[in-house]
Amino acid sequence: MGTEQWDQQSLLEYIDDVLVITDDDGVVTFVSPNAGRVLGWQVKPGSDHITTLFGAPLFDPADLQKQGEIRGLTVMITDAEGQARILSIRVRKGRFEAGTILYVCRDVSDRTQADGDTPAAMASSERTAREFQDYLKRLHEISMTLSQSETEDQLCYRAVVLGREKLGFDHLGILIESHGYPVVMYGVDRFGEVKDKRHVLQDGPHMDRWRMLLEAPVNTVFQEDVELTDFGEVLGRGWHAMYCMRQGEQVIGAVMSDNLLAQKPVRPYELELLALFGSVIAHLVVRKRTEETLRASEKRFRTLLEAAPVGILLVDTQGNIISANHIAEIYFGYSQAEFAHLVLESLLPDQLREIHQQHRAGFFAHPKMRPVHMGVGLDLYGRRKDGSLFPVEVALSYLEIDNAVLAIAFVTDITEHRQVEHQQLELRVERERIGILGQFIRDAAHEFRTPLSLINTNLYLLDKVTDRSRRQQMIERIQQQTDALTRLIEVMTIMVRLDYQKPDQHVPMNINTVVNAVVTRKKAAVNARKLSLETNVSGQVSLVKGDAADLSLALDCLLDNALHFTAPTGQVTVHTHYNDEHVTVAVSDTGTGMSDAVLERIFERFYRADPARTTRGFGLGLSIVRKIADLHGGEIQVESAPDKGSTFRLILPLHRD
């Protein structure tokens, strides 16, 4: 049920409060009508973010996920007239529908004043709010500086230095979890110097706090009037705060602070600032580990390529050479950089190039391993950079990566073997070596898969891109695929882009043209799965205003979904029809279908149904379709039943001149 349909009676109990509802990403979807009168807010649902109202995150999302509700939050805002207001806020998850967060905001400024707050106290609160906002700006600058750290060790050291210098933390330390045991990386000593503390055994209080943190329902533990230590020695008493750094369910470590040195009381925003600081560090630590894993994967991949006793070429469906090993460079005389601008046919004699394009298309239409060398008993030649020819034998294999097929060509220069062809013994030895190579192909294929997925789709781009924000996006996507193999980098990129995209570049277009183009692209996949694809496009020119690439992507996702869940010999149907206001693109299949329980959640991000529907996929395709529909002012509908197939309808408003 959408927020615009909510029963007005549901709002009566909060008539004195301001209600704000957001999605899980923090985008405001509803605000009660009294927001302008009570707080002077002018909010735009669908575009404004919750942080534009409060200036900063109010809580750790993990805490809300665990508790379902957070009470007692207090924040100071400045209204439209420049007056400071104090709000008491209660947050609940999924109050009206799944995937939403409800904020109940009550203005307690008058109550606080009546309870004895003086103008001086209010001014102090305003100063506190300004201080916190200043620290948030500094935290952003710190995150940019820390992101440039070369290693995790350097990152932790810099974090302690900058946390003390820029954020005002007193006795600060960073603890990293290692094999279930907390290890303090760096921390401030009793003299205010940042020291390496990895060699120090954790004392009782630290271990007790660590266990308390892991067992606590929230990520922050705060203690007052406790013993404060340095290098295991008790030096005083005061308050101590510790924030658990997590990435999903993974515990990264903790950032901890106390007032051992300055003996100052805890700042009003101390715990919030510590939590935000810890979240930044956790994110960057995970990213740094991803980079290190990626470098190791690249090294392993290159080692496998270079260890092969023959030339290896990786080729895409268009014949573009994606990568080549050193032996291939020697054979053909091209450098790695030059290979990147060549197609496979450029390595063949002129008279074979046209026919080989047909052979290549046939291989990709029905890819299979061919360990027996092409060229045995034939005059098969490779063409060097200088135009000279040399006899070759070729074995083929393939890899499927991100729903794309790459061919692997294992090339052997048999010049010497041709010269001694009469020596049967050497030929038998060579064939035995070829058999071993076939086994190598089978054994190495799995190892190639993940490094190729990371390197071929991301590493090359990562090395070329200099923009910091784009690099961070790519690294985050790589982490998601490396850690869990549950997300596609390309899909995540699209998802992030759509989240922040505004429909300001939409132009009128014929939706039938888009549909026909997508269907044409999918014919090879349909044939490969032995399915029947029926298209019934309306003869009426149906103009919509939108982005052709995004609409193509939405239809791609719907067709991919239909093809994936339809058994061989099944049927997929695409048809369009229109009325006075809308055009509808319907994609139907005779696949496995879905239960009512699945239908309720099918458009949720990362949601995947029963195992029968999770052999592939990452739970984002249909979310992307819904997002694109929303951006175009349309909607996506679905009808399905178990064993009855499914029909998805993308409904878009017609464009009027």
Model confidence pLDDT, tens digit, residues 42-61: 888 888 888 777 766 777 78
- Binned at pLDDT 50, 70 and 90, residue 67 comes out as confident
CB atoms under 10 Å from CB of 516, counted, come to 15
Contacts of 630 (CB under 8 A, 6+ apart): none
pLDDT of residue 614: 43
pLDDT of residue 33: 79
Query: Quick one: how far is CA 394 from the chain centroid?
Result: 38
Contacts of 279 (CB under 8 A, 6+ apart): 60, 245
In three-state secondary structure terms, 333 is: coil
Query: Quick one: how far is CA 344 from the chain centroid?
Result: 33
Q: Answer with the residue of higher pLDDT: 461 or 575.
A: 575
Residue 543 corresponds to which tokens in the numbers above?
């103009």
pLDDT of residue 421: 60
Q: Is the pTM of this model over 0.85?
A: no
Least confident of 164-168, 268-272, 399-403: 399-403
pLDDT of residue 437: 40
Q: Which of 522, 542, 531 is nearest to 569 (CA)?
A: 531
* pLDDT at residue 500 greater than cutoff 80: no
In order of their start, the domains of the chain are 3-117 (3.30.450.20), 127-289 (3.30.450.40), 311-442 (3.30.450.20), 507-653 (3.30.565.10)
DSSP 417-448: HHHTTT-HHHHHHHHHHHHHHHHHHHHHHHHH
Residue 312 corresponds to which tokens in the numbers above?
């290896």
Percentage above 70 pLDDT, the chain: 78
* pLDDT at residue 424 greater than cutoff 80: no
pLDDT of residue 93: 87
* pLDDT at residue 353 greater than cutoff 60: yes
Mean pLDDT of the region 636-642: 92
Tell me the HSE value of 314 on the side-chain side, using a 13 A CA sphere: 24
- Binned at pLDDT 50, 70 and 90, residue 222 comes out as confident
565-575 burial, b for 16+ CB within 10 Å, e for fewer? bbeeebebbbe
Helix spans in 333-423 (H): 336-339, 350-365, 415-419
pLDDT of residue 12: 44
Mean pLDDT of the region 481-496: 56
pLDDT of residue 128: 79
Token pair 């005083």 is found at 236
pLDDT of residue 15: 59
Token pair 């735009």 is found at 44
- Binned at pLDDT 50, 70 and 90, residue 438 comes out as very low
Q: Which of 180, 183, 111, 126 is nearest to 152 (CA)?
A: 183
* pLDDT at residue 332 greater than cutoff 90: yes
Q: What is the DSSP letter of 457?
A: I
Mean pLDDT of the region 630-652: 92
* pLDDT at residue 484 greater than cutoff 50: no
First vs last C-alpha separation in the chain? 33
DSSP 73-91: EEEEEE-TTS-EEEEEEEE
Most confident of the ranges 409-418, 480-489, 603-612: 409-418
pLDDT of residue 172: 94
In three-state secondary structure terms, 568 is: coil
- Binned at pLDDT 50, 70 and 90, residue 444 comes out as very low
Helix 489-500 and helix 468-484: axis angle, to 10°? 130
Q: How far apart, in whole angstroms, are the C-alpha atoms of residue 155 and residue 132?
A: 24
Model confidence pLDDT, tens digit, residues 183-205: 888 989 999 999 888 765 555 66
pLDDT of residue 445: 43
Q: How large is the C-alpha radius of gyration of the chain?
A: 31
DSSP 99-163: TEEEEEEEE-HHHHHHTT--HHHHHHHHHHHHHHHHHHHHHHHHHHHHTT-SSHHHHHHHHHHHH
Q: Which of 377, 375, 437 is nearest to 408 (CA)?
A: 437
Q: Answer with the residue of higher pLDDT: 151 or 206.
A: 151
* pLDDT at residue 447 greater than cutoff 70: no
Q: Answer with the residue of higher pLDDT: 546 or 470.
A: 546
Strand partners, 77: 85
Least confident of 35-39, 79-83, 127-131, 231-235: 79-83
Q: Answer with the residue of higher pLDDT: 150 or 14.
A: 150
- Binned at pLDDT 50, 70 and 90, residue 485 comes out as very low
Least confident of 161-170, 343-352, 466-475, 607-616: 607-616
Least confident of 21-25, 472-476, 567-571: 472-476
pLDDT of residue 159: 96
Q: Answer with the residue of higher pLDDT: 618 or 595.
A: 595
Average pLDDT, the chain: 80
Model confidence pLDDT, tens digit, residues 89-137: 888 887 667 788 988 888 776 665 555 455 555 556 677 778 888 998 9
